[in-house]
Amino acid sequence: MGGICRGDEPSQPLAEQTQLGWILFGKMQSFQCNIVMTNVDSIQKFWEVEDLEEDPELSSDDKACMEFYSATTQRDVNGRYVVRLPMKPDTHEKIGKSKNMAKAQFINLEKKFHKQKEFSNAYKGFISEYIALQHMVPAKNNSTSPACFLPHHGVQRVDSLSTKLRVVFNASAKTSSGYSLNDMMLKGPNLQKDLQCLIVKWRIYPYAFISDIEKMYRQILVHEEDQPYQQIVWRELPEQPIQEYQLTTVTYGTTAAPFLAMMTLQQLAADESSKYPEAARIVKEAFYMDDLLHGSFDVESGQKLIKDMNNLLKSGGFN
């Protein structure tokens, strides 16, 4: 901020005033800095600024979301979790019509397909995989259930080693009533671990390992009654009739997706803790969304932990 203050001797440190206060730098053996503060409040404020805040208390919506998850989540015969979407009570009245808008945006998307063949092939490949894995199925006409059609578009990631293109379903698109699906969905509490703490803990191990869960959201099933909220329109070729599909898994782009994914991971750890106690603890403590950061103090215990982690996650349908 103001120049540099130099001492009488070249060997003495330099002082410079910055936005963070005065700093000393240069070659030195040891220096003692004494500060006299008569205002105790200043000391208290300093420590309050430096201290890490505790997690805030859950809001009423977050508590309701947690209770709803616990009351409605099930596991199917294969061990996969089936969740309900945490919709607000007045969703049925407020959600508007969205099919025509979704069709119009899809027709625009087809025009892009015509101009960009590489993009078109990647997009159609992505959707074909969705259909093959039964992550989307033909929509079931049920006039009693409210429906919502989600426009979709492609996001290209040239630097990605695995998925060069991801199809994003836009749950924030407004329906005819002015409300979107995301407007009517509870977000749930943030269950994400602090990334800095994860990295610091990760560095204590002489042997470290990292991993990620393949298609994490799409390994969690959405209850059949809630799938009409996740409908899309699609056809392979322009001369074919436009068809309606419903997405069967937790969908990237919906408000509750991060909560549902992290909560399901924690639920899996709790359900399998008696069989894999150490692996269950790691699942609860060492994941940043779908990424795992952990390690071990020797190779043998690390290999056993990795094996147990794989078996625990596989029991819930995660790879």
- pLDDT score for 44: 63
Q: Which amino acid is present at 117? A: K
Q: pTM of the entire structure?
A: 0.78
Spatial contact of 181 and 152, defined as CB atoms under 8 Å apart: no
Cα→Cα distances 70→103, 219, 272, 287, Å? 36, 18, 16, 21
Spatial contact of 236 and 276, defined as CB atoms under 8 Å apart: no
- H helices present in 73-139, as ranges: 91-94, 99-115, 117-132
Confidence band of 41 (pLDDT split at 50, 70, 90): low
C-alpha angle 262-214-285 in degrees, rounded to nearest 5: 35
- pLDDT score for 59: 87
- pLDDT score for 108: 94
Confidence band of 28 (pLDDT split at 50, 70, 90): low
| Listed residue (11, 13, 19) closest to 33, CA to CA | 13
For 82-101, the pLDDT digits (tens) are 999 999 998 888 999 999 99
For 217-234, the pLDDT digits (tens) are 999 999 999 999 999 999
| Listed residue (175, 191, 178) closest to 269, CA to CA | 191
Give the separation between CA 170 and CA 231, rounded to whole angstroms. 11
Domain 61-315 falls under CATH 3.10.10.10: yes
For the chain, which residues make up each domain, given as ranges?
Answer: 4-45, 61-315
> Taking residues 119-132, what's their average pLDDT?
93
Query: How does 243-263 read in b/e, with b if 16+ C-beta sit within 10 Å?
Result: ebbbbbbbbbbbbbbbbbbbb
SS3 246: strand
Give the separation between CA 317 and CA 288, rounded to whole angstroms. 19
- pLDDT score for 141: 72
Q: Burial of 289 by CB count in 10 Å (0-12 exposed, 13-18 middle, 19+ buried)? A: middle
- pLDDT score for 267: 96
For residue 70, the surrounding DSSP H or E stretch is helix 60-72
For 44-76, the pLDDT digits (tens) are 665 665 555 555 678 888 999 999 999 999 999
